[in-house]
Amino acid sequence: MSQAQESDSSLLVVVLDANASAWAQSPLSLDKALQQLVIFINAYLALNPENQLVVLGASHKECRYLFPADPSSAPPTHDIQVYEQFRTVDVHVLSGVHEMLSSHVDGNTEEQQSLIARALSKALCHINQVNQLSVNKIWSRILVLSAGQDSPHSYIPLMNTIFAAQKMSVLIDICKVFGQDSVFLQQAAEITGGNYLKVDTNSEASLLQTLLFICLPDQYTRNILNAPGNDLIDFRATCFCHKRVVDIGYVCSVCLSIFCQTAPVCSTCQTKFSFRLVKSDSNQSNSTSSPNASAMSSLSLKP
Partner 1 sequence: MILLPGENIKQSSKTAYKKAEGTLYFTNKRLVWCKGDEQTPTVELAHETIHSPRVNKSDTKVMLKVITIAPGTANEPSETNAPVFIWKQENKTEANDERTKFVTELSILSTRRTHTASSGQKSAAPTPNQNTTSNEYNKLKIGAAPASADEIKLRQEVLSKNGDLAKVHKSLVISGLVTEDEFWSTRKHILETYAIQSQLRKGESSAWLDLAPQNLETGNFKYTITPNVARHIFKEYPQVKRAYVDNVPHVVSEKEFWKRFVASQFFNRGRSADAVKGRDKIFDKCTQEEDSAFNDTKQINLAFLTRLLDLTRTEEDATETGNAPDFTMRPSKTDSKLALIRRFNHHSQLVLQTVLNSKRKQLASDHNSTDKMLEEATVLEDLDIPQPEKKVKLNVKDRSRYFSSLTADDANKQSKKCALDPAEVRAALDISFDISRPLDGCGNAQKTMSTLSHATHRLTLQKRPNRIQELQIPDDINVA
- Segment 135 to 174, residues that bind partner 1, using CB under 8 A: 149-150, 152-153, 155-156
Q: Would you count residue 207 as binding partner 1 (CB under 8 A)?
A: yes
Of 73, 85, 209, 284, the one binding partner 1 (CB under 8 A) is: 209
Residue 233, Cβ density class (10 Å: 0-12 exposed, 13-18 middle, ≥19 buried): middle
Q: Would you count residue 6 as binding partner 1 (CB under 8 A)?
A: no
Q: How far is the CB of 134 from partner 1 (least distance, A)?
A: 29
Of 8, 131, 213, 220, the one binding partner 1 (CB under 8 A) is: 213
Stretch that binds partner 1, among 6-14, 166-174, 197-205, 294-302 (CB under 8 A): 197-205
Of 245, 251, 263, 299, the one binding partner 1 (CB under 8 A) is: 245
Stretch that binds partner 1, among 9-17, 54-62, 127-135, 282-290 (CB under 8 A): 282-290
Q: Would you count residue 31 as binding partner 1 (CB under 8 A)?
A: yes
Q: Which residues of 170-207 are buried (b: 16+ CB within 10 A; e: fewer)?
A: bbbbbbbbbbeebebbbbbbbebbbbbbbbebeeeeeb
Asked if 242 and 287 count as a contact pair (C-beta separation under 8 A), the reply is no
Q: Would you count residue 75 as binding partner 1 (CB under 8 A)?
A: no
Q: Would you count residue 20 as binding partner 1 (CB under 8 A)?
A: yes
What is the spatial distance between Cα 303 and Cα 101, in angstroms, rounded to a whole number?
A: 42
E strand or H helix at 150, and its extent?
none
The DSSP code for 149 is B
Nearer to partner 1, 131 or 297 (CB): 297
Asked if 174 and 144 count as a contact pair (C-beta separation under 8 A), the reply is yes
Nearer to partner 1, 11 or 28 (CB): 28
E strand map for 25-154: 52-58, 63-67, 138-146
Asked if 149 and 182 count as a contact pair (C-beta separation under 8 A), the reply is yes
Q: How far is the CB of 119 from partner 1 (least distance, A)?
A: 18
Q: Would you count residue 182 as binding partner 1 (CB under 8 A)?
A: yes
What is the spatial distance between Cα 288 and Cα 254, in angstroms, rounded to a whole number?
A: 6
Q: Would you count residue 205 as binding partner 1 (CB under 8 A)?
A: yes
What is the spatial distance between Cα 227 and Cα 239, in angstroms, rounded to a whole number?
A: 33
Q: Would you count residue 110 as binding partner 1 (CB under 8 A)?
A: yes
Amino acid at 109: T
Q: Would you count residue 214 as binding partner 1 (CB under 8 A)?
A: yes
Nearer to partner 1, 130 or 269 (CB): 269
3-state secondary structure of 299: strand
E strand or H helix at 10, and its extent?
strand 9-17
Nearer to partner 1, 126 or 176 (CB): 176
Q: Would you count residue 181 as binding partner 1 (CB under 8 A)?
A: yes
Q: How far is CA 269 from CA 189, 250, 272, 288, 295, in A?
A: 32, 15, 9, 12, 15
Of 2, 72, 289, 300, the one binding partner 1 (CB under 8 A) is: 289
3-state secondary structure of 234: coil
Q: How far is the CB of 242 from partner 1 (least distance, A)?
A: 9
Stretch that binds partner 1, among 2-10, 122-130, 254-262, 276-284 (CB under 8 A): 254-262
